[in-house]
A = this chain, B = another copy of it.
């Protein structure tokens, strides 16, 4: 099987030392502006904390909405707080098939030209001209951890999940912040493809390309 006539590729030890990360699986959810909270839940309505999320200051709300697309509807989609400058609907590819939309793969907050979508609450409805995305998997990393692992904000690295459905995720975006809890976020399609559950451990590698690309 081995081809002895070719010289071997070199992979550096630093690139194959695993960085353990806890996984959080993001189900579909909605972030809302102050104005859209008014429209959906009533003027002056305050979002109610259902439970705190792992990232500091973020929380799941008691409030839920119905997401409506041209070919389907998804009920009971959780609102996450606090309010944001622009409403954003984070969906999986499975959800997009059901709704009949083609939302783009984007980093959170990068909404220019993203899909239009309709939200319905107990008081009213709003049709966003843009705002529906498939959220790109990413790693939240506290500054202290980034220094420890010699990583910088917006680095892209590989992450390996072990097990019978073991997988290596390529090009995982690293977001470094003083206000982050170090954690990897994937969506439900990605979690279910691997059989991951919240709190599982995965391993990041600083290798910056597939090994096939290391051959020069």
By the criterion CB–CB under 8 Å, are B215 and A16 in contact? yes
Judged by a CB distance under 8 angstroms, whether A169 is at the interface is: yes
Q: A94-B192, A192-B94, A215-B16 are in contact. Are A171 and B164 (CB under 8 A)?
A: yes
The answer to whether A9 and B3 have CB atoms under 8 Å apart is no
Q: Which of B6, B11, B164 has a CB less than 8 Å from the CB of A8?
A: B11
User: A residues 37-53 with Cβ under 8 Å of B?
Assistant: none
Contact with B along A182-216 (1 / 0, CB 8 A): 00000011101111000000010111001110110
Chain A contact residue count (CB 8 A cutoff): 49
Report chain B residues within 8 Å CB of A18: 212
- B215 contacts A207, C-beta separation under 8 Å: no
Are A105's CB and B11's CB within 8 A? Answer: no
> Footprint of B on A, CB under 8 Å?
1-3, 6-18, 92-94, 97, 105, 136-137, 150, 160, 164-171, 188-190, 192-195, 203, 205-207, 210-212, 214-215
Q: List 24 A-B contacts (CB under 8 A).
A: A1-B150, A1-B206, A2-B15, A3-B12, A3-B14, A9-B10, A9-B11, A9-B16, A11-B11, A11-B214, A16-B212, A17-B212, A92-B192, A93-B195, A105-B164, A137-B165, A160-B212, A167-B167, A189-B192, A190-B193, A192-B193, A193-B193, A205-B212, A211-B211
